[in-house]
Structure 1
Amino acid sequence: MHAVEFHEFGGPEVLHATEVPVPEPAHGEVTVDVAYAGVNFADVLARAHGYRVPALPFRPGLEISGRIRAVGPGVTGLRPGQEVAALTSHSGYAEVAVAPAATAFALPEGISLRTAATLPTVLPTVQGLVHEVGRLRAEETVLVQSAAGGIGTVAAQVARLAGARAVYGVVSRPEKAAEALKYGYDEVFVGDGFTEDVLRATGGRGVDLALDPVGGDTFRRSLDSLARYGRLVAYGNAGGAAPWQVGQPELNPRGLSVGGFSVLTLAQDDPGALRALAADSFRLAASGKVQLPVTAEFPLDRAAEAHRLMDTRTTTGKLLLRVAGE
């Protein structure tokens, strides 16, 4: 079968299409004939810096959609031919991928395989950020970093459905602001001066909840953007700065709190909790109340082009690799 792997760390050019044996599922696993594979920033970090790469060669790809090819021993509730979306530890950039049965989710009616490939990481992450860790309440205000990205475009919509009074976004480039505004933001701010913009927009109060995948100075500025009793949820370190540290001097005076979330760690440590988030997410997607924008699609053998585009930091929405398609 065709697959895309890398044998060394580096730029997009290290991704190579290759022929590999078709895998067989082990105990508790399924194999999936892949229709689409999501392209995530974690894939880029794996290729460039070895993020979550146990050994080389390595085949990236954290999320897929397709039809179950075979089920391994001990698997119940899934059958060959069933349409699923799945979160994999790796292996998604291939015609056939292996996934734990615990993180393979049968698709409800009304969700296409193309849309399904955007579901395993994006909507469960947003549900975790907004509801489980962020504990958003009606009439509260929200600030979302990377507002035009795959998670950012969905976060505003989910916050609106949860009753947020106002949702503000931050993007790195002016051209991304117009894209983000399509998905429910009241205002979208550009660049590092967003703390002043937030205070202006909220009459000096700040926001109740901030979501930050960037880290570093952005984390600090997001903390400064919070209202009294505000919460900040960090779910990445895309900026590559040293891990943030915060303590009583920053939190106590205004009663602030900081939380974290990782959908990949949740999948590994507590797949049952992920299944609960995924069930809510899939129902929401099937209802049509949330748009999951796919802004670019590449054939499998052009995965390097998808990574090259993502490296520019100009992308919006979700990127996919088309393997077998619908």
Structure 2
Amino acid sequence: MLIDVSRAGVNFADVHIRQSNYLSEIQLPYVLGSEVVGRRRIDGQRVLAFTIRGGGYAECAVAPQGTTFEVPDGIDDGQALALAVQGNTAWHLLHTCARLQRKDSVVVFAAAGGVGTLAIQLARRAGAGRIIAVASTPAKRQLALGLGADVAVDSTGTDHLTERLIEANRGHKADIVLEMTGALSLNQSLKALAPFGRLVAFGYASGRAATLGTRDLIASSQAVMGFALPQIYPIRGMLAHSMKELWDAVLSGDVTPHIGGRYPLSKIQHAHMDLQERRTTGKLLLDPAS
């Protein structure tokens, strides 16, 4: 489908791809951007689209019909983009990977980011127990608390992170950890994970991936799983199901996407630098017309 783009989304994965240190190598030339909102050329319908192989940072983008969805009335372009890569990631982290049950305690790393702000709200909507937000600044921690987290933990310095997480969960180890920072925090998080707890890794923003020991996993009866959103694209109905859940969550008022910044396409370098320097919160939007 050919789409006239009104807004494109920016994700931390775009930074990794630009730096050539993501999950797979890319072939140059390459246009970044995995999600757009705009008008479908064939009929003028407003749609949200996953571009699959990049190409979103543009005035016009192409996306498969199977990953293009009509945007419901009542949801604006920015909200729709927040639900695309980051919203679906948050939903599948909680439900497909961690198999969240009511009253489960949930630790959310990068809680003020695009995935984190939505994961907090989705966990609350699903009936989670204690929700523990992990973020680096007082302002980010306050944002997470305002979105529904029960307590917020400082992510700076990992020496005593295990103790801080257990203390935040009232002296108990956590049922679920959503982790995207990397080696040091992941290993500390495992020590704060309960027996039969589930840790889901969906990134390594620090640039350092963790190494796990089989013996330790067996001894602790813990589950560790990775998640990358593109794995669900070819599985029939999977993306459509989570998109419906996300539309419903916003339209019901249970979830409010947090828009953290708007950039003209000519300032994309600024958007990437702001992401790398951890200066952003929520969803970042690009305006291809400026």
Q: In which range does the TM-score fall when normalised by the shorter chain?
A: over 0.9
Deviation at 1:227, TM superposition (A): 1.5
Letter in 2 for 1:303: I
Question: Equivalents in 2 of 1:271, 1:315: separation in Å?
Answer: 34
Deviation at 1:50, TM superposition (A): 5.6
Counterpart of 1:259? 225
1:85 and 1:104 in contact (8 A); partners too? yes
1:309 and 1:315 in contact (8 A); partners too? yes
Q: Helix, strand or coil: the match of 1:131?
A: helix
1:65 and 1:117 in contact (8 A); partners too? yes
Counterpart of 1:35? 6
> Residues 97-153 of structure 1: CA distance to partner in whole angstroms, max 9, x if unpaired?
011111111112211122212121122111101111111111111101111101111
1:32 and 1:98 in contact (8 A); partners too? yes
Counterpart of 1:59? 31
Question: Equivalents in 2 of 1:151, 1:299: separation in Å?
Answer: 22
2:132 and 2:169 in contact (8 A); partners too? no
- Equivalent of 1:182 in 143, 146, 157: 146
Counterpart of 2:75? 111
Counterpart of 1:9? none
1:206 and 1:226 in contact (8 A); partners too? yes
Alignment partner of 1:308 is 2:279: no
Q: Helix, strand or coil: the match of 2:246?
A: helix
Cα 1:49–1:271 change in 2 (3 A) is farther
Q: Helix, strand or coil: the match of 1:119?
A: helix
The farther-off stretch of 120-129 and 43-52 is 43-52
- 1:114-263 to 2 correspondences below 5 Å: 114-190=78-154, 191=156, 192=158, 193-247=160-214, 249-263=215-229
Letter in 1 for 2:16: L
1:109 and 1:286 in contact (8 A); partners too? no
The number of residues matched between the two structures is: 285
1:134 and 1:233 in contact (8 A); partners too? yes
2:176 and 2:193 in contact (8 A); partners too? yes
Counterpart of 1:82? 45
Counterpart of 1:17? none
Letter in 2 for 1:129: L
Deviation at 1:196, TM superposition (A): 0.7
Counterpart of 2:16? 45
1:102 and 1:271 in contact (8 A); partners too? no
The farther-off stretch of 178-187 and 92-101 is 178-187
Question: Equivalents in 1 of 2:222, 2:78: separation in Å?
Answer: 40
Question: Equivalents in 1 of 2:289, 2:48: separation in Å?
Answer: 14
Two-structure CA RMSD over aligned residues (Å): 1.7
The farther-off stretch of 187-196 and 89-98 is 187-196
Deviation at 1:287, TM superposition (A): 2.1
- Pick the structure with greater CA Rg: 1
TM-score by length of 1: 0.83
Q: Helix, strand or coil: the match of 2:27?
A: coil
2:265 and 2:289 in contact (8 A); partners too? no
Counterpart of 1:317? 282
Question: Equivalents in 1 of 2:50, 2:206: separation in Å?
Answer: 24
Question: Equivalents in 1 of 2:273, 2:141: separation in Å?
Answer: 22
Deviation at 1:279, TM superposition (A): 1.9
Question: Equivalents in 1 of 2:201, 2:63: separation in Å?
Answer: 27
2:177 and 2:189 in contact (8 A); partners too? yes
2:153 and 2:168 in contact (8 A); partners too? no
Q: Helix, strand or coil: the match of 2:47?
A: strand
Structure 1: any 5+ residue segments left out of the alignment?
A: 1-29, 71-79
Cα 1:199–1:242 change in 2 (3 A) is closer
Identity within the alignment, %: 38
Structure 2: any 5+ residue segments left out of the alignment?
A: none
